[in-house]
Amino acid sequence: MTDMELDESRNRSLWGDVWAQYKTHRGALAGTAVFVFILLAVFLGPYIYDVDPQYLNIRAKNQGPSWEHLMGTDQLGRDMLAQVLHGGRVSMAVGVIAMLISLFLGTFIGLMAGYFKRLDGPLMRLTDLFLALPLLPLLLVIIMLFRDTLRGLFGPETGIFLLIVFIIGITSWMNTARIVRGDVLAQKEREFVLAAKSIGTPSRRIIGRHIFPNVLSPIMVSATLGVANAIITESALSFLGLGFPSDFPTWGRLLFDGANYMTLTPARVIWPGLAISLTVLSVNFIGDGLRDALDPRIRGR
């Protein structure tokens, strides 16, 4: 081995190896580029294209794409591009916050069930119970029961936002919990964990310093896929008319409002549908790339 190769081997780090493997996944790079573009568009686009998404112009209703309205208008003459950009902010916020809730619950339950044998049975039976529930009917029932109460407490927009984020988060943690539990069961039999136990290291420190860092890879993959799942669930609820109000646009709500005008102005459902599809597809590609990059067996090839 030459001196240069020795220097390179010393300077290699975990995240350097992960990035080197991630760069070889063309789909992941394409997905990253598309996802970053969508993020920039929905968060910076409204400052550049500063058209009020709620501005009514009945004379310009149901128009197709034009130079004045790049994505056309709806039945009230509101600009579709402005609504898609503002709706993307809400959809992305729902996806990220619901993902964080489900990731926290799934990681905590997976760690506890995998490390503490006495908790394994009860927590996994709870996970199986949630997996057996029909999620979409459950979501519909919860929304119907608590929608009016939260609207009265926090307002129509904030109340529905909190409700949808919460119910998506607490109904999508199960797969993360099962994956984390499986990795914890394998990690707690490793030599460094057994050595830490033999010198009397507390369980919370073993979990925090030895086990949790070694199960980060499936958690990160679950995070990317959780964003896509949350966006799809919110879009489905909004498409069924049980999501946000019509004056608070999301991509799913735009699809719901435009469904009755598909034959007149098909662009009304094409643009929000395309935004949802590209976002979910790009996030899935990012998840595939992270899964391969974080797998030490693939990185070692």
CATH number at residue 225: 1.10.3720.10
> What whole-number percentage of the chain has pLDDT above 70?
92
Instruction: Select from 210, 212, 230 the least CA-distant residue to 100.
Output: 230
Instruction: Single out the residue of 87, 104, 102 nearest to residue 46, CA to CA.
Output: 87
Q: With bands split at pLDDT 50, 70 and 90, how would you rate the model's confidence at 194?
A: confident
Integer Cα distance of 21 and 90 in angstroms = 33
Cβ proximity of 253 and 238 under 8 Å: yes
Residue 151 has a CB neighbour count (10 Å cut-off) of 16
DSSP letter, residue 199: T
pLDDT at 135: 75
162 CB burial (10 A radius; 0-12, 13-18, 19+): middle
Report the distance separating Cα 16 and Cα 257, nearest Å. Answer: 46
Question: Is 113 inside a domain boundary?
Answer: yes
The answer as to whether 13 is a domain residue is no
Any domain includes 11: no
102 touches 194 (CB < 8 A): no
The span from the CA of 169 to the CA of 164, in Å, is 8
Both tokens of 211, joined, read 């086990």
Contacts of 15 (CB under 8 A, 6+ apart): none
Alpha-carbon distance of 130 to 127, in angstroms, equals 5
Under the banding of pLDDT at 50, 70 and 90, the label for residue 4 is: very low
Quote the Cα angle for 270-275-277, to 5°.
Answer: 90
Within a domain: 12 = no
Say if 281 falls within a structural domain: yes
For the ranges 1-15, 86-100, 115-129, 211-225, the lowest mean pLDDT is seen at 1-15
**Does any domain span residue 102?**
yes
pLDDT of residue 58: 79
The strand pairing partners of 73, in sequence order, are 79
Distance between CA atoms of residues 124 and 181, nearest Å: 9
Q: What are phi and psi of 144, to 5 degrees?
A: -65, -35
Residue 177 · residue 110 · CB < 8 Å: yes
User: 3-state class of 79 per DSSP?
Assistant: strand
**If pLDDT is split at 50, 70 and 90, which confidence band does 108 have?**
very high
For residue 6, tell me if it sits in a domain.
no
What range does the domain containing 174 cover?
26-299
Asked whether 243 and 233 are in contact (CB, 8 A), the reply is: no
Q: By the 8 A CB rule, do 84 and 254 touch?
A: yes
Mean pLDDT of 15-35: 81
Rg of the chain, C-alpha, whole Å? 23
pTM assigned to the model: 0.81
Average pLDDT over residues 8-37: 75
In a domain, 160, yes or no: yes
pLDDT score recorded for residue 6:
42
Among 15-24, 112-121, 133-142, 180-189, which is the least confidently predicted range? 15-24
Indicate if the pLDDT at residue 10 is higher than 60.
no
What CA–CA distance (Å, rounded) separates 48 from 203?
Answer: 52
Lowest mean pLDDT among 49-63, 90-104, 270-284: 49-63
Residue pair 148/219 in contact (Cβ under 8 Å)? The answer is: no
Number of domains the chain contains = 1
Q: For Cα atoms 245, 249, 254, give the angle at the middle one, nearest 5 degrees.
A: 100
